[in-house]
C-alpha cells in the first residue's frame, strides 16, 4: 500500500476541502474535554473532591479514571489508523484511475492515424473517385461517412476527457429534437441489430424537445442502444421508448435477456467497470460512465431496472430546461 506522505495528504486535503486527520483530532478533543469539564464542574460545585478522591473509594476511582483514559486513547489510535488506511486506499484508487486514463489517452490518440486513412477512403468513395455507386451503396457510404465524423468527434472529446476535464467540453446549448436523434440512431443500428438476430423497435413522442448539447445527447442514445445490441441474446427484442411532459423528456432502452442482479447494477456506471460474465464482449468500460456524466451535466438522472431472466431497462429523465439556462459545468 502506497505511503501516505505529507504531499499526498496535502493533495487529499485540497480535494476534500478539509484535513480529515485534523478533523478527527478536534472531534476527540471535544469528546474528551467537554464531559471532563462538565464532571469537574459538578464535583467542585457539590464539594465532592474529598469524598471521591480522598475517601475510602479514592484509589478505585483513580484506577477507573485511568482505565477510561487509556481506553479513550486506544479508541482514538484505532480510529486514526482506520482513517489513514481509508485515505491510503482512496489514494491508490485515484493513482490507478490516473494510470488507466493515461493508457486510454495514448490508445485513443494512436487510433487517429489508421482511422484517418479509413476516413480518406470513405471520402473517395463518396466523391465518386472509385467510379459511380448505385443508390444502395451510396446510402451505405453516406452512413459510413456520417459515423466516421462521429468517431472523430468522439476521439477529440475523449482526448479532452483524459487530458483535461470532461466537464469542460460541455458548452453548447441548443434546442434538441430528441425524437429525430432516436430515429437517426435507430436507422444507424438497424442493420447491426438485424445481423445479430434482434428486433430493434421504437416508439417516440414527436414533440419531445429539450435544451442542451445535441452531440452529447446523441452520444447517450447511441451508447445505450449499442450496449443493448451487445448484451441482448439472439432472437431478443430491444425497445426504445420516448415520452415527455411539461417539465421533462424521458426515454428508455429496454432489452430482453438474462437481466442483472442488484450487485451487478451497483457498479454499472463506474469507470472501466465491466461485468465478469460479459468479459468476452469488447469494450473499455467507459460507455455508461460517460452516459451518466452527460445526463447529470444536463441536470438529469439515469436509473436501471432489471428483472432476472426477463429484461433490463435503462431509463433517462432530462429536464426540458430553458433557452437562457446554461448547461451545468463543474
Phi, psi of 108 (to 5 degrees): -65, -40
Q: Please give the radius of gyration of the chain, using alpha carbons only, rounded to the nearest integer.
A: 30
Which CATH code of 3.30.565.10, 3.40.50.300, 3.30.200.20, 3.90.550.10 fits the domain covering 174-319? Answer: 3.30.565.10
Q: Are 126 and 145 in contact (CB under 8 A)?
A: yes
pLDDT above 50: residue 327: no
Q: What is the pLDDT of residue 23?
A: 80
* Secondary-structure percent of the chain, ordered helix, strand, coil, rounded to 5: 60, 15, 25
Helical packing angle, 58-126 and 6-16, nearest 10°: 80
Mean pLDDT along residues 27-42: 76
Q: Which tens digits make up the pLDDT trace of 281-300?
A: 555 566 788 889 889 889 89
Of 317 and 78, the one with more pLDDT: 317
* 52 SS3 class: helix
**pTM: predicted TM-score of the whole model, two decimal places:** 0.55
Q: Which tens digits make up the pLDDT trace of 145-183?
A: 888 887 887 777 677 666 555 544 455 678 999 999 999
Q: What is the DSSP annotation of 69-93?
A: HHHHHHHHHHHHHHHHHHHHHHHHH
Q: What is the pLDDT of residue 25?
A: 80
- Return mean pLDDT, the chain: 79
Q: Which tens digits make up the pLDDT trace of 247-278?
A: 999 999 999 988 888 888 887 887 666 665 54
Picking from 162, 170, 118, 109, the residue whose alpha carbon sits closest to that of residue 328 is: 170
Q: What is the DSSP annotation of 153-209?
A: HHHHHHHHHHHS-GGGG----EEEEHHHHHHHHHHHHHHHHHHTT-EEEEE--TT-E
Q: What is the pLDDT of residue 204?
A: 93
d(CA 252, CA 220): 11
Q: Which tens digits make up the pLDDT trace of 37-46?
A: 777 777 777 6
Q: Which tens digits make up the pLDDT trace of 211-244?
A: 998 888 998 999 899 889 988 999 999 999 999 9
Of 233 and 127, the one with more pLDDT: 233
Q: Are 327 and 212 in contact (CB under 8 A)?
A: yes
Biggest alpha carbon–alpha carbon distance for the chain:
111
d(CA 313, CA 200): 14
pLDDT above 60: residue 100: yes
Residue extents of the structural domains in the chain: 6-98, 111-169, 174-319
pLDDT above 50: residue 130: yes
Amino acid at each position: 500500500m502506497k505511503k501516505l506522505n505529507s504531499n499526498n495528504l496535502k493533495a487529499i486535503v485540497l480535494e476534500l476541502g478539509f484535513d480529515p486527520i485534523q478533523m478527527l483530532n478536534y472531534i476527540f478533543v471535544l469528546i474528551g474535554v467537554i464531559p471532563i469539564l462538565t464532571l469537574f464542574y459538578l464535583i467542585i460545585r457539590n464539594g465532592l473532591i474529598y469524598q471521591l478522591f480522598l475517601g475510602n473509594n479514592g484509589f478505585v476511582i483513580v484506577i477507573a479514571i485511568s482505565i477510561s483514559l487509556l481506553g479513550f486513547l486506544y479508541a482514538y489510535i484505532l480510529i486514526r489508523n482506520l482513517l489513514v488506511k481509508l485515505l491510503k486506499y482512496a489514494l491508490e484508487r485515484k493513482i490507478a484511475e490516473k494510470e488507466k486514463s493515461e493508457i486510454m489517452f495514448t490508445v485513443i490518440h494512436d487510433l487517429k492515424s489508421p482511422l484517418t486513412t479509413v476516413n480518406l477512403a470513405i471520402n473517395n468513395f463518396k466523391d465518386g473517385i472509385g467510379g459511380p455507386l448505385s443508390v444502395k451503396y451510396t446510402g451505405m457510404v453516406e452512413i459510413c461517412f456520417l459515423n466516421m465524423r462521429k468517431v472523430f468527434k468522439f476521439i477529440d472529446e475523449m482526448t479532452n476527457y483524459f487530458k483535461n476535464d470532461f466537464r469542460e467540453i460541455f458548452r453548447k446549448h441548443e434546442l434538441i429534437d430528441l425524437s429525430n436523434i432516436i430515429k437517426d440512431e435507430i436507422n444507424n443500428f438497424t442493420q447491426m441489430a438485424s445481423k445479430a438476430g434482434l428486433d430493434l423497435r421504437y416508439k417516440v413522442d414527436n414533440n419531445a424537445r429539450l435544451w442542451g448539447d445535441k452531440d452529447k445527447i446523441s452520444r447517450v442514445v447511441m451508447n445505450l442502444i449499442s450496449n443493448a445490441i451487445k448484451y441482448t441474446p439472439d432472437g431478443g427484442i430491444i425497445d426504445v421508448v420516448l415520452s415527455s411532459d411539461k417539465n421533462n423528456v424521458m426515454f428508455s432502452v429496454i432489452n430482453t435477456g438474462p437481466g442483472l442482479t442488484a450487485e451487478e447494477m451497483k457498479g454499472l456506471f463506474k469507470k472501466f467497470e465491466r461485468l465478469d460474465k460479459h468479459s468476452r464482449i469488447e469494450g473499455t468500460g467507459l460507455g455508461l460512465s460517460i452516459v451518466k456524466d452527460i445526463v447529470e451535466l444536463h441536470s438529469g438522472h439515469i436509473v436501471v431496472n432489471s428483472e432476472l431472466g426477463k429484461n433490463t431497462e435503462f431509463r433517462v429523465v432530462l429536464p426540458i430546461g430553458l433557452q437562457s439556462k446554461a448547461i451545468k459545468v463543474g
